[in-house]
Amino acid sequence: MKELQVALNNDRSYPIYIGAGLLTQAELLTKHIRSKQILIVTNETIAPLYLAKLQTALGGDYQVETVILPDGEQYKTLEYLEKIFDQLLAKKFSRNATLIALGGGVIGDMGGFAAACYQRGIAFIQIPTTLLAQVDSSVGGKTGVNHPLGKNMIGAFYQPQCVIADADVLDTLDDRQLSAGLAEVIKYGLIRDPAFLEWLETNMPKLLARDKDALACAIERSCINKAEVVGEDEFESGVRATLNLGHTFGHAIETGSGYGHYLHGEAVAIGTCFAADLSRRLGWLNDADVNRIIAVFKAANLPATPPKEMTTEQYVDLMAVDKKNVDGKIRVILLEAVGKASLPVNVDLAQLQATLNGYAG
Ligand SMILES: NC(=O)c1ccc[n+]([C@@H]2O[C@H](COP(=O)([O-])OP(=O)(O)OC[C@H]3O[C@@H](n4cnc5c(N)ncnc54)[C@H](O)[C@@H]3O)[C@@H](O)[C@H]2O)c1
Ligand SMILES: [Zn+2]
């Protein structure tokens, strides 16, 4: 097992445990639990696979309650968040209770936000079960839900007590979800770790074949990158914004094509190809760089071109409500080089439209 640290101020630092078979290692959990009351939040797909395992590992000493949400990004809403509060209140959970989020990014984001809100904050543990959640969403404390008018628009920064990334749970993940997680893995290489990008280019076939050592290595290196960025800039006043490479475009694609049509990682892959194209227009990348970026996403079985039905106007509209925008200007993260992200750049509308026209139908 590997243990990494997310270093934060005011004693809020926490460990990330990475390895195989961690779900049944109860002591990893119990040392972070403050009272007998535990609420496990999961969904209808993950519950039959892993809930009993986790409950058995916890043993009989705790009051373990569960909330099993329907599966899907479309349920990442205030309405379904309330189901978690209903259960916490019905079971008379106190401020010392612990909420465990067992699932992918949807469950992690919702569980974390519920923990942040319930009695103004209860302890919270992340057990991410998708590659995307293990390398990205479970680390760093961003929690929240979607609103019909925008993704992740209602939320809070709220850090977990620990993150437990068990590589074994990825065995049941389908290929499309595995690839979606790889989009965020590739992102770390592109924004700040060129050696990792090279490693990924070489090892992509192993990752797709679910070679356990290769996966553990990719998870660890991704978490190291994320932990460093979050440790430097927890509340996204600077460098943390670079983690949003491809995301402003990606969110527009997710919203514009209806939540659930594209997986988050797929939309990010397409969005990163947009960002690469725009970076080339600014003279920061050359043709070979852009082709290399498209190739690495394709090697991970990810899409590199967007939905035909979205128009340039739609993109501009959707990007204008993105959280990263200041004063109505569209700001995006671009690449100054392969392996080096820019800080947010105010996009020149003509150049943006040139990029979008190149893609939009
Ligand atoms: N908080 C953050 O910093 C952050 C970062 C990136 C993404 N996100 C959010 O994360 C969400 C996407 O997360 P995701 O990609 O994990 O999606 P997800 O949570 O919807 O999980 C994907 C699918 O895989 C299933 N699943 C999960 N684990 C499984 C397993 N081990 N075996 C079989 N099936 C399994 C889920 O039930 C679901 O159907 C989005 O809502 C996005 O906004 C948050
Ligand atoms: Zn993301």
Average pLDDT over every residue of 38-61: 96
Nearest to 73, CA basis, from 239, 238, 267, 204: 267
Tell me if 212 is assigned to a ligand binding site. no
Q: How confident is the model at residue 73 (pLDDT cuts 50, 70, 90)?
A: confident
Pocket of ligand 1 contains residue 217 by CB under 6 Å: no
Q: Is 110 in the pocket of ligand 1 (CB under 6 A)?
A: no
For 36, other C-beta atoms within 10 Å of its C-beta total 13
Look up 240 and say whether it is catalytic. yes
Residue 2 pLDDT greater than 60, yes or no: yes
How many whole angstroms from its chain centre is CA 254? 14
| 309 annotated active-site | no
User: Which entry of 152, 225, 234, 236 is annotated as an active-site residue?
Assistant: 236
Residue 114 Cα to ligand 2 midpoint, Å, equals: 20
pLDDT tops 80 at residue 100:
yes
Q: What is the pLDDT of residues 123-162, one digit of tens each?
A: 999 999 999 999 999 999 999 999 988 778 999 999 999 9
- From 1.10.3720.10, 1.20.1090.10, 3.40.640.10, 3.40.50.300, which CATH number describes the 175-358 domain? 1.20.1090.10
On average, the pLDDT of the chain sits at 93
- Residue 323: pLDDT band (50, 70, 90) is low
pLDDT at 305: 87
Alpha helices in the chain (DSSP H): 26-30, 52-58, 78-90, 105-117, 131-132, 175-192, 194-208, 212-232, 247-256, 264-281, 287-299, 312-319, 349-359
**Contact assessment for residue 190 and residue 302, using Cβ atoms and an 8 Å cutoff:** no
Predicted confidence band of residue 319 (pLDDT cuts 50, 70, 90): confident
What does the pLDDT read at residue 257? 84
Report the separation in Å between the CA atom of 34 and the middle of ligand 2, taken as the mean of its atom positions.
31
Position with higher pLDDT, 350 vs 19: 19
pLDDT score, position 111:
98
Q: Is 119 in the pocket of ligand 1 (CB under 6 A)?
A: no
Residue 160: the pLDDT is: 98
Cα-to-centroid distance, 181 and ligand 1 (Å): 9
Least confident interval from 115-119, 223-227, 329-333 = 329-333
In this structure, which topology does domain 2-172 adopt according to CATH? Rossmann fold (3.40.50)
Catalytic entry in 32, 142, 280, 331: 142
- Give the residue, by CA position, lying nearest to ligand 1 atom 14: 105
pLDDT value of residue 325: 60
184 among annotated binding-site residues = yes
Nearest partner of 165 among 208, 229, 218, judged by Cα = 218
Q: In the prediction, which pLDDT does 318 show? A: 84
Separation of alpha carbons 346 and 253, rounded Å: 20
* pLDDT, average across residues 170-185: 97
220 annotated among ligand-binding-site residues: no
H or E element that contains 162: strand 162-166
**Res. 10: pLDDT tops 90:** no
* 244 a catalytic residue: yes
**Averaged pLDDT for residues 335-344:** 97
The DSSP string of 101-115 is EEESHHHHHHHHHHH
Q: Which residue, among 258, 255, 226, 278, has the nearest Cα to 16 in the 3D structure?
A: 226
Any atom of ligand 1 within 6 Å of the Cβ of 71: yes
- Testing ligand 1's pocket by substitution, the residue of 69, 131, 137 carrying the most ligand atoms inside 8 A of its CB is 137
Q: Does the Cβ of 106 fall within 6 Å of ligand 1?
A: yes
Q: Which amino acid is at 136?
A: D
Give the C-alpha separation, 73 to 193, whole Å. Answer: 30
Whether the per-residue pLDDT at 361 is higher than 60: the answer is no
Range 327-356 average pLDDT: 87
Q: What angle do CA 45, 49, 54 make, to 5 degrees?
A: 115
Q: Which residue is associated with the tokens 């007998």? A: 36
Ligand 1 atom index nearest CA of 142: 1
Which tens digit of pLDDT belongs to each residue from 250-287?
989 988 887 668 999 999 999 999 999 999 999 999 99
Percent of the chain's residues with pLDDT above 90 = 80
pLDDT of residue 301: 98
* Share of residues in the chain with pLDDT > 70 (%): 96
Distance 265 CA to ligand 2 centre (A): 6
List where CATH 3.40.50.1970 sits in the chain. Answer: 2-172
pLDDT value of position 260: 67
Cα Dmax for the chain: 63
Nearest to 125 by CA among 222, 44, 27: 27
Torsion of CA 243, 249, 255, 260, to 10 degrees: -60
Specify the domain boundaries for CATH 1.20.1090.10 within the chain: 175-358
Catalytic residue, from 43, 146, 225, 244: name it: 244
Region 276-302: mean pLDDT is: 96
Which-ligand-closest: CA of 73?
Answer: 1
